[in-house]
Chain A
Amino acid sequence: MNKKTLFELLQQQGITRRGFLKYCTALTSLMALPPAMIPTVAKALESARRPSVIWLSFQECTGCTESLTRSHSPTVEGLIFDYISLDYHHTLQAASGAAAEHAREQAMKDNYGKYLVVVDGSIPLADPGYSTIAGISNLDMLNETVAGAAAVIAVGTCSAYGGLPHAAPNPTGAVSVSSLIKDKPVINVPGCPPIPTVITGVLAHYLTFGSIPELDELGRPKVFYGQSIHDRCYRRPFYDKGLFAETFDDEGAKKGWCLYRLGCKGPMTYNACATLKWNQQTSWPVESGHGCLGCSEPNFWDAGSFYQALSIPDGDYARAAGYAAAAGVAVGAAAGFVHQKTKSTAVAQHSEISVDDFSLNKD
C-alpha cells in the first residue's frame, strides 16, 4: 500500500476539498446511502490508502480497459482510479516480459491478503493454450494471483459470465471467474463494457467500508444493478402508451418512442445506463436511438437476435411447426382411417332385429 492517503494524492493533483466533498456526496447517493453518511464516506476516503490492484486480462477485447481509461478527461472518478496502485496491468504498464511478471509477483508478496484482483476476460478451460500470458495459462495465473487476494472484481461480462467467448458453441470452453473462484468474494461488474463510474463506485465502496457491496443473485452490486433499464428508461411512458418505433427511421423513432419492437432488451436487463449514462452523462444507447442489447446479463450473446422483440420465441419454431403439421396430418389420417374402418365394420355387422326378437315366447 502507498503511504500517502487518497486525499493527499488528490490534493497534489489540484483537487480542492470542495471538489472532493462533492464527489463524496455524489458517491454516497450513487451507493444509495442516506445523506447522513456523506461525512462517513468522506472521512473513509480521506484516510484510505491506495490499495494494490492487480489487473488480469484474459480472453477479452480490451474494451473494458478502454472504457475505463479513455472515458473522459480527468475527473475525480478518474483520479481515484489513477490512484489505486495499479501494480500490474499488461496493457497499461510500461514493463513487459519478465519485468512485468515480476511486478505482479512483487505486489502479491508485499500486499498478501490485502490486494484486489480485477479480472477482465473469460478463462478458457478446453485448452490452456488458447490464452496465455508469459507462458502461464489463464487458469494458473488466476488461481495463483487470487490465492492472496482480499477480493476479486470481475469486470465486464466476459469475466462475470463468460461473455462473447462463452457464446455457443464456446470453442475455447470459456468460463467466468465466479465459476472457478469459490473461496474469495467475487464482485461481478458486468457490461460490454461496464460503465466507468460503476467500476470506480465499486472500488470506492471497498475503500469506504472495507467490504464488498450487497450483491444480487448474479453477483452484481445491487446499488448499480438493482433496477432494470426498462424501469428507469426515459422512453418508458411511450411503452405504457403503446407508442413504438417500428423502424429505425420512422416517425416513431424520430419522436423518441419506445424501441421494444426493434428488439430492445431493456425489460430484462439490470444495469445503471439509464441513470448514470455514458461519456460524462452525455447519452446512452437507448437515448441515441438503439435498443438495449442486454450486455450486462448472462448469455446475452445467445439470447436471440438483438433486433427481435423479447416476446418472440427464439428457436426455429417454423421448422418445428412444419414437422409437427406433417406428423399431425399423418397420425390424423391414420386415426381417421382406423375410425372409418371401425365404422364400416360396425355397419357390416349390423343386423336387423324386429319386435319378435324380444318375444317372451321365443324359444
Chain B
Amino acid sequence: MELFSNANDFLLWVRGDAFNIALSIFVIGVIIRVLEIVLLGRKKEYSEPRGSEWGPGLKNIVSRSVADSGTFKRAPFVIVVGYIWHICFFIVLLLFVPHIELIHAMLGIKWPGLASQFIDASTVVAIAAMLGMLWHRLTHPVLKFLSTYEDYLVWLVTFLPLLTGYIAFHRMIAPYPLALGLHILSVELLMIVFPFTKLMHAITLFIARWYTGATMGRKGIES
C-alpha cells in the first residue's frame, strides 16, 4: 500500500480522521434532512379537532410496524425476510460487545451483550436475508423495473459492513488490522451515504408514522 505504510496505519486512519469525516457528514446530513422536513411546516388546520394528535401519533409509530393483511398477501417475502433482516441486524449492531463499547464511549449508555455465537448466527442470517432480498429484487419483474441505482447502492453499503464484520470476526483476512480497518471503513461509507438515500427511513419513519397517526387522530379516525 502506497497510501499507508502498513495495515496498522490504515486502521489508525480509519479509526481517526476517516471516522471524524464520516461522522461529520452523517451528522450534518441527517440534521439538514430532518430540519428541511420539519421547517417546511404544514398549512394551518382551521377545522375543529375531533380527537388528540399526540396519542394516536405515537401509537401509529408502533402499530404500523405490523403489516396489514392486504400488504402481507401482496408481498409476503419482502415482509418476512425484511423482518428477519431487521431483527438480526439490530442484534448484531446493538448486542455485540465491541459495538456496545463504541456506543458507550460515544453516548455514555450501555447494556449487556450477547455471546459471540449468537452474534455470529445473526450475522449469517442477516447476510443470507440480504442476498435473498437482492435475488428477489432482480427476479421480480415489477420490483426490478422500479429499482434505481440508489436501491442497489443502499443494498451494497448495508451489505458490506455485515460481510466485512463477519470476515473480521473470523479473522479471514490477515493481518487483523486490515480486516478490522475494512469493516470500520465500510461502516463509514454507510454513514456517509445514509443521509442522502433511502437509508434515512431509519429516522424519517418516526416522523412519517407520527404525522399519519396525528392527522388521523385529529380527524377522529382510528389508526
On A, residues with C-beta under 8 Å from B are 216-218, 228, 230-231, 239-242, 244, 260-261, 267-268, 270, 297-300, 302-304, 308-318, 320-321, 323-325, 327-329, 331-333, 335-337, 339-340, 343
Contacts and interface: CB of A to CB of B under 8 A. Distances in A.
B166 to A, nearest CB: 15
B115 to A, nearest CB: 4
B97 interface: yes
Interface of B: 5-9, 11-12, 15-17, 19-21, 23-36, 38-41, 97-99, 101-102, 105-106, 112-117, 171, 175-177, 180
Given A231-B171, A299-B9, A328-B27, 8 more contacts: A241-B115, A242-B116, A244-B97, A317-B23, A324-B27, A335-B39, A336-B35, A339-B36
15 contacts: A217-B7, A300-B8, A303-B11, A304-B15, A310-B180, A313-B23, A315-B15, A317-B20, A325-B31, A329-B35, A332-B39, A336-B36, A339-B39, A339-B40, A340-B40
Contacts of A230: 176
The 3 A-B pairs with the shortest beta carbon distances in the complex, nearest first, are A336-B39, A332-B35, A328-B31
A360 to B, nearest CB: 34
Contact of B102 (A312, A324, A329, A336): A312
A354 B68 CA distance: 41
Contact of B34 (A260, A261, A299, A332): A332
B92 to A, nearest CB: 13
A314 B177 contact: no
A327 B5 CA distance: 34
B220 to A, nearest CB: 28
A255 to B, nearest CB: 16
B36 A268 contact: no
B16 A313 contact: yes
A302 B11 CA distance: 12
Nearest to B20: A320
B171 A261 contact: no
B22 to A, nearest CB: 9
A360 B6 CA distance: 77
A315 B23 CA distance: 11
B121 to A, nearest CB: 13
B23 A320 contact: yes
Contact of A328 (B8, B15, B32, B38): B32
B16 A314 contact: yes
A119 B102 CA distance: 39
Contacts of A321: 23-24, 27
Given A310-B180, A320-B23, A340-B41, A332 B101 contact: no
B24 A335 contact: no
A328 B28 contact: yes
B66 to A, nearest CB: 31
Contacts of A303: 8, 11-12
A315 B102 CA distance: 13
Nearest to B21: A320
A244 to B, nearest CB: 6
Nearest to B6: A298
Nearest to A246: B110
B28 A260 contact: no
Nearest to A331: B32
A144 B177 CA distance: 36
A313 B30 CA distance: 20
Contact of B20 (A216, A316, A332, A340): A316
A298 B8 contact: yes
A185 B17 CA distance: 35
A312 B104 CA distance: 9
Contacts of B25: 324
Contacts of A343: 40
Nearest to B7: A217
Nearest to B29: A328
B114 A242 contact: yes
Given A311-B101, A339-B36, A302 B31 contact: no
A267 B177 CA distance: 8
Q: Tell me which of B17, B40, B99, B112 has the highest count of chain A C-beta atoms within 10 A of its own C-beta.
A: B40
A355 to B, nearest CB: 24
A268 B8 contact: yes
Nearest to B106: A317
A198 to B, nearest CB: 18
Contacts of A317: 19-20, 23, 106
A65 B36 CA distance: 64
Contacts of B11: 268, 303
B39 to A, nearest CB: 3
